[in-house]
Structure 1
Amino acid sequence: MILKLFVLLLLVSFAASDGPEFIFNGFHGANLSLDGAAEITPNGLLRLTNTSQQQKGHAFYPISLPFKTSSKGNSNTTTLSFSTVFVFAIFSKYPELSFHGLAFTISPLKAFPGAASAQYLGLFNDITNGKSSNHVVAIELDTFLNSEFDDINNNHVGIDINSLRSNLSAPATFFNSEKGVLQNISLTGQPLQIWVEYNGVEKHLNVTLSPINMPKPKRPLLSLNIDLSPFILDTMYVGFSSSTGAAPTYHYILGWSFKMNGKAQELKLSRLPRLPRDGPRKKPKVLTIGLPLILVAVVLVSISVAVFMIRRRIIYAEVLEDWETKYGPHRFKYKDLYIATKGFREKEVLGVGGFGKVYRGVLPTSKIEVAVKRVSHESRQGIREFIAEIVSIGRLRHRNLVQLLGYCRRRRELLLVYDFMPNGSLDKFLFDQTKSMLEWCQRFQIIKGVASGLLYLHEEWEQVVVHRDVKASNVLLDDELNARLGDFGLARLYDHGSNPQTTHVVGTLGYMAPELTRTSKATMSTDVFAFGAVMLEVACGRRPIELQASLPEETILVDWVSQCWRKGTILEASDPKLGSHYVVEEMKLVLTLGLLCSHPVSAARPSMRQVMQILDGDIPLPELLADGSNASILVLGGNEGLDYYSLCSSVPDSLLSGGR
């Protein structure tokens, strides 16, 4: 009887250890669920992304797998063990810049329609990141440092639960069992093999990394005691998610093996598909001249090369200071920027300002279009402003901010390299007759985009960033006419909850809040004032201050719109080029909200969060009261515990006095 019971228990144990499994030694004919940029190449590679920028790709096994089991008569469920091994490769067109990485993913879904690209790896966005309802477990292979997720460097592996802020991460290394040492390894430029193993009984997760030509290391890279049961549902999908940013990057999977409740089969490395050749095949050169001529040529060439290298070193000499190792993002070589801009030719100039010139460039290796800001020697925007821009925008990540790709210093020259915005600045579309006119729907989305970027700067980043130079010429438009706020050379940072310090009064006339001349303090409210001017500028098609040919003095846009509002004819302020082709309620909303943001009393202006909620329709636009000399109270409602602002009756010609 005891022997029969033992045999029965043994059979049950064998049955429990058996689970779904699959193996792909290459992906020819593989039945995978593909989304976004993901595709299977003709030679059997699974390519998650290609050379397009700001994209995402997903590839999942098409059948959901049982990840939990429950004992008979017991309502409690436990997460099963699982094991997977895959070979991946990441290649960038520009080796020094690889964006952004890929992740092995366990998820209740096979696609992520609302997910963002770039630092979100196609898994989450700025709203869903960190939510417990995600039920996503991921192993990230991250090739970009994102400070908002506390990344340790730009070449690391992490265990992520419902968020891109890793539960555990480590620089990419592997344990060389033969030498008995830990060695660094780059996640880009070569195929690598990775093992992910979870023990559902011991509640333990291991991640092991290795070059493809070496056996599995005896010591894992990451080892985490964690019970995945709260995060994993009864059935889940397994697969890969990847995304790119500003630099075109290929993300490949060469082979993949997976097994539930057991050890995944090892991949047959000899059967994996070949990666594409990186660059053209080199052709051998045959010598066709005699030895004496060769010796003469070598001497002459050596002399020429020496002269050329000395001249080249003088031309491309650079400066490296201590602060750059702490603050600097990617540092470009001066010679690359010199070549990209064709020697900073005048024909490549995109714009000229008080700081110097901005040039269009094409990086010689990657062929990426960039904008190079060259700070002039005589500019008042000197080294301090230069450092401020690197420190601030260099670590900011938002879809409505111009991305700083890197910088360069040479002698007294200061160079910043940005994403190239093919449609130029917003003011060109509003006032340049050679540009096509912006439709109202495009203008409304541009306003919301700038508002979203300012909200991120004021409230959603680790510090408060006051831009100090919000204006139409600093709002750039990408190829889809999405708004990107740029030029952070005047930006000021301070901690949340602290007070801004007194500083020099800077900015552009027409966008500067009146209290700046009294307090010399740039605040979030002064940014809101400038944003109000931009809103009115976009809606009216007129500059904040302009000289009318028929009038001897200047016309102040906010005063003119205020007069239209008091007369009850606020729509007369709309851009005449639009005619009647706009949404009346949206136009009224933008004009009225622009007046609120441009109020002369700073306490009367809404915050950018309130502005965003009004534009999104989450809270109603406050009524503008018309009780003459009485003090008016503006109440911005909603679920956020928004503030009350008192509009003082002592303000002459208050925007809240007069008729509708």
Structure 2
Amino acid sequence: MLLKFAYALKRSLTSYHHQSQESSRFSMGIARRSIETLMFLLFLSSNVLADASTTTKFTFLGFRGNQTEIQTEQAATIQETDGLLRLTNRDHNVTGTAFYRKPIRLRDGSSNKLCSFSTSFVFVIIPSSPGNGGFGFTFTLSPTPNRPGAESAQYLGLLNRSNNGNSSNHVFAVEFDTVQGFKDGDDRRGNHVGLDFNNLSSAVQEPVIYHDTDDRKEDFQLESGEPIQAHLDYDGPTDSLNVTVYPTRIGFKPETPMISRQVLNLSQIVTKEEVYVGFTSATGKGQSSAHYVMGWSFASSCGESPVSSWLNVSLLPRSPPNVSSKKGYDSPVVALIASLSIVTLFLLALLFVFVMYKRRIEEGEALEDWEIDYPHRFNYKDLYLATKRFKESEIIGSGGFGVVYRGNLPSLGPVAVKKITQTSQQGFREFVAEIESLGRLSHKNLVNLQGWCKHKKDLLLVYDYIPNGSLDSLLCAKPRRNGVVLTWEERFEIIKGVASGLLYLHEEWEQVVIHRDVKASNVLVDAEMNAKLGDFGLARLYERGTLTQTTKVVGTLGYMAPELTRNGKGSTASDVFAFGVLLLEIVCGRRPTNTENFFLADWVMDFHTNGGVLRAVDQKLGSSFNGREAKLALVVGLLCCHQKPTARPTMRKVIRYLNGDEDLPEIDGNLGFSDSSRDHLRANVVCNVSSDIASSSTTFSFSTEVSTGSLGNGR
């Protein structure tokens, strides 16, 4: 309109010049210069207006009176009482969205590149009860100012099960998730921030932390009920996004962002010139939180990098209360509570005096003369304090014969302390002799017995602390301790490590040691993934050339050699059988037996007979294993599981087979079983092994169940 007016003014003056010949040339010159100046100013004004159209900036210090600026739907609302933007309350399975009502231009029309933007907001998440909150909220770029059809719970009011992952969504979101993420594994925890591109399976996901200094991180909880500030800065020319989240109580914005990534695929999300910016949120079934936004600033520009306003918390509305208000009690009730409190405190004081007196008695110990003569003896008080007075939180394992505590001795560092209660089935002197003998075993693939301690009816065994726990937990526990499947290289080294430990027990120590309980839960794995055989509670020691005298059936169902059900006499061959089952378990990732007459050796033998033995390899490994080594290990395992003890290889031959120093012999197609003998064996095993002895033990479960054999009979 201004340009039209200028041109009209010029035409009028020109007409006036032709009609009025009396006007001076000087006056017309002034008029022409005035018109040119006016048009130049109009040109500059039009450029400024064009630049302004590519820039957006707003700041909400609270939302009272801004209902026309914010479009809320579902559970979201602007609270008139305090001016907070509440996305959801604590109702279950609800969603809420709140978007800036006007579209934001985020693509430069001339260069077709994404514009830079920056936003900052302060939020509060209050769970319905401690540890029972959910599910979180998102800051979102959306083609629409709402999210129709979006679902609750893990969909966060942003997408639903049918459109999640579709490229047609054109949504980008930064999720603030307080429970397990969408389709995350069992080992993934909540309380994280993620970047979502058309999909709630986050492309980038980080636990919630802020950088206190350049080299120190501090974690905190999103659903703490305290105000938390978030900054998102996207630089269009470099496609880089920085996300910084921190509690407002620290009083400053950390210099190092929590997430700093190049997001090249953001340009594929924002395909139109204009988008809507806002928040989505949701609660779930049985898990819910109230989600609030206290203040919000946003800035975008297709020219210079925008900077959104840093929100001063003191200028924002008061944060919502973290707990429900409680009604005061009447005076009589207060008096009754006070009286009961005084009585309770008095009783607690008496209980404290009694406990301290009892503890002082327990910490003391009188030494007998004979105890001084045996090595590796620890003072009970030292072990008592090392385990924090045998505190329940220090328990790292338990079994049928005792409990294992984590301890820390000044002289040794971390240790595992097994607390065993003596039974009437074994004399004390025989047990002391066993401690003395086993305490002299020393091999890199055996758990090292550091020492022992006797206190009243308790016997304490002190072992090296093994951080990775048992092989059984690494193979079968869900979720896995380290979150990944054991690699083939680690499995093969564990197999050779256990074999080396058994060779030492059978042939290389001064006496023959029969372990009698080789199984996955009795193999521990250290920090370097080295195998260490432990739990010698059922072990027997013999002089070389003597015969075993034990006749009681002991062991664990699935690992027991068939001859044990007939004569109960353990031998090195029965250890070899158990090792063979363990070897197959490591390679196949399956337990040796179950309640449906499944035997692992039979299962693997069927594959071998049909020429496809590698099909028995643990499917969790996929194709990531050495086929030659896997086939070698499976065949060695089958050889060790032969029914006839004399047909099984010694541990020395096993190691030669595994190292490739000796060729493998042919395998009996039925492992020495006839169909009738196999069925008879299964029946005998089920009938003769008690559930207590056959049950799997946990880490460091050193059982004391032994027969009546003694040292004099060749223990």
TM-score, reference length from structure 2: 0.43
Rg comparison, structure with higher value? 2
Give the number of the structure whose residues are more often helix, by fraction.
2
